[in-house]
């Protein structure tokens, strides 16, 4: 492989390459064939070994006990890379101290109270409320002219749901949406003030819940005392920030990517005619175009041999590329690179929600939200058409989130 090709590969693995349509798919597939990991440099100078393993190898890798999520270890390695590159070591420690930056046994204590609120049964109880929020958002869309369904539906729906779950008052939700979007950019000057504002707001809200508890999750986290589990005040705060960060833009991308895939593969009306198939269609979309491009950083504690003469050194940072695993032909067949909405249910599931200790705790909620958003949109607007061609649709340049910045549709009807 020439140097230029290699640079393109790194760029595409981290940021989606040319960021249009589905072009990054080819690069991820080529990367899997070229080797099990590729060293890439993020825009913030952090060096990361992107694992481009097949499905089973990636699933096993994520349970390797030589990997750590420890906040100090991961952030420490990032700082070292920035210092070595001669830039200000600007690492947000905002979700350090939450479950996603903890190793066992602390991880379980931090995760248990959140997991208790997100069991499939608890999530199912939210179905009517998620449907009502979705219908309200669809009511406000203009079916006669090109409409961006990311802004109108995919972005506000998950944020409203997560805010209601946490107990954030309705009038404050637009403010949280703006901070959350700014935090998800790769621009530190925008991230920093937004994260400080969100932390300040949530800290004050937590104090209110301490004084005056309600039925929502934030109060439960403040008052948790299950089998001796307790969360320190700063852990309640970092957990709340994590829930918003992890639960919002991922689900937004899941809704946008699914609607886009249905439009741009000409399958919209076929699925609209079979709304019962939507859960399977969403599963296929999460496999084909996962809302998480890479599973975020793990620290390699001891060298890990990935085969093919590639060893991840101790002290390195690694991410797992989901496109490479999810479109592995050995797991999903020779047409794994295609979106097949009525694909017979494959023997193995996609890896989009991760695996191991850190497997997504919100996966049942996310799947239900995407399913409801997609079904309600299809049933109400069965004749919708794309407003712009797929190769002009731009993706967000983000190392973790993989979604279109906008999905323009003439909804019709």
Nearer to ligand HEM, 384 or 401 (CB): 401
Nearer to ligand HEM, 81 or 287 (CB): 287
Footprint of ligand HEM on 292-311 (CB under 6 A): 292, 295-296
Nearer to ligand HEM, 336 or 367 (CB): 367
Main-chain phi, psi angles of 298, to 5 degrees: -115, 150
Give the chain's length. 413
Q: Which two tokens stand for residue 191?
A: 């991230």
Residue 107 beta carbon to ligand HEM: minimum distance, rounded to whole angstroms: 6
Span near ligand HEM by CB under 6 A; candidates 139-147, 288-296, 301-309, 386-394: 288-296
- Under 8 Å between Cβ of 387 and 407: no
What is the DSSP code (8-state) at residue 153? I
Q: How many CB atoms lie within 10 A of CB 131?
A: 15
Nearer to ligand HEM, 331 or 360 (CB): 360
Q: Which of 153, 263, 366, 393 binds ligand HEM (CB under 6 A)?
A: 366
Q: Which of 243, 372, 374, 399 binds ligand HEM (CB under 6 A)?
A: 243
- CB-based contacts of 282, cutoff 8 Å, min separation 6: 254, 258, 367, 370, 371, 374
Q: Is the peptide bond before 413 cis (omega within 30 degrees of 0)?
A: no
CA 228 to chain centroid, in Å, comes to 31
What is the DSSP code (8-state) at residue 395? B
Footprint of ligand HEM on 72-101 (CB under 6 A): 99-100
User: Distance between CA 232 and CA 155 in Å, rounded?
Assistant: 31
User: Distance between CA 403 and CA 19 in Å, rounded?
Assistant: 10
Nearer to ligand HEM, 137 or 387 (CB): 137
Residue 118 beta carbon to ligand HEM: minimum distance, rounded to whole angstroms: 6
Span near ligand HEM by CB under 6 A; candidates 130-138, 192-200, 289-297, 327-335: 289-297
Residue 325 beta carbon to ligand HEM: minimum distance, rounded to whole angstroms: 11
167 touches ligand HEM by CB under 6 A: no
Q: Which of 97, 156, 167, 291 binds ligand HEM (CB under 6 A)?
A: 291
**Backbone CA torsion sign across 92, 98, 100, 101:** positive
Rg, Å, the chain Cα set: 21
User: Distance between CA 109 and CA 125 in Å, rounded?
Assistant: 25
Distances (CA, A) of 230 to 72, 222, 226, 234: 21, 8, 7, 12
Footprint of ligand HEM on 98-137 (CB under 6 A): 99-100, 111, 114
What is the DSSP code (8-state) at residue 18? T
Residue 68 beta carbon to ligand HEM: minimum distance, rounded to whole angstroms: 11
Instruction: Give the contact letters, 313-352, x = binds to ligand HEM (CB under 6 A), - = no.
Output: ---------------------------------------x
Q: Which residues bind ligand HEM (CB under 6 A)?
A: 99-100, 111, 114, 162, 242-243, 246-247, 250-251, 254, 291-292, 295-296, 352-354, 357-358, 360-362, 365-366
């Amino acid at each position: 492989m020439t140097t230029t090709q290699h640079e393109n590969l790194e760029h595409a693995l981290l940021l989606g390459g040319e960021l249009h349509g589905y072009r990054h798919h080819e690069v991820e597939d080529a990367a899997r064939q070229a080797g099990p990991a590729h060293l890439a440099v993020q825009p913030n100078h952090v060096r990361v070994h992107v694992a481009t393993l097949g499905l089973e190898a990636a699933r096993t890798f994520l349970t390797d006990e030589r990997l750590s999520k420890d906040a100090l270890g991961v952030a420490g390695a990032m700082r070292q890379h920035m210092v070595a590159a001669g830039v200000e070591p600007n690492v947000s420690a905002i979700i350090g101290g939450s479950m996603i930056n903890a190793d066992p046994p602390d991880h379980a204590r931090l995760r248990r109270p959140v997991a208790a609120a997100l069991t499939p049964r608890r999530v199912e109880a939210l179905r009517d409320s998620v449907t009502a929020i979705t219908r309200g958002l669809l009511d406000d869309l203009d079916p006669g002219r090109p409409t961006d369904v990311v802004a109108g539906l995919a972005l506000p729906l998950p944020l409203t749901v997560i805010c209601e779950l946490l107990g954030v008052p309705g009038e404050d939700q637009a403010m949280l949406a703006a901070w959350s979007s700014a935090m998800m950019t790769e621009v530190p000057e925008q991230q920093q003030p937004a994260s400080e504002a969100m932390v300040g707001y949530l800290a004050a809200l937590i104090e209110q819940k301490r004084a005056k508890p309600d039925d929502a999750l934030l109060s439960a986290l403040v008052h948790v005392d299950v089998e001796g589990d307790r969360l320190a005040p700063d852990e309640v705060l970092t957990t709340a920030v994590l829930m918003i960060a992890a639960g919002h833009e991922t689900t937004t991308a899941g809704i946008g990517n699914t609607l886009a895939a249905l439009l741009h593969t000409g399958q919209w009306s076929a699925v609209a005619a079979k709304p019962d198939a939507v859960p399977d269609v969403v599963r296929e979309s999460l496999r084909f175009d996962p809302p998480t491009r890479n599973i975020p950083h793990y620290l390699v504690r001891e060298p890990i041999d990935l085969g093919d003469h590639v060893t991840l050194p101790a002290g390195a940072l690694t991410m797992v590329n989901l496109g490479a695993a999810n479109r592995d032909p050995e797991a999903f067949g020779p047409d794994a690179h295609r979106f097949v909405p009525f694909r017979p249910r494959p023997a193995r599931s996609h890896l989009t929600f991760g695996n191991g200790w850190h497997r997504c705790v919100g996966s049942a909620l996310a799947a239900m939200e995407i399913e409801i958003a997609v079904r309600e949109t299809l049933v109400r607007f069965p004749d919708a058409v794309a407003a712009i061609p797929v190769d002009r649709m731009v993706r967000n340049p983000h190392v973790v989130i993989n979604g279109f910045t906008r999905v323009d549709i003439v909804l019709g009807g």
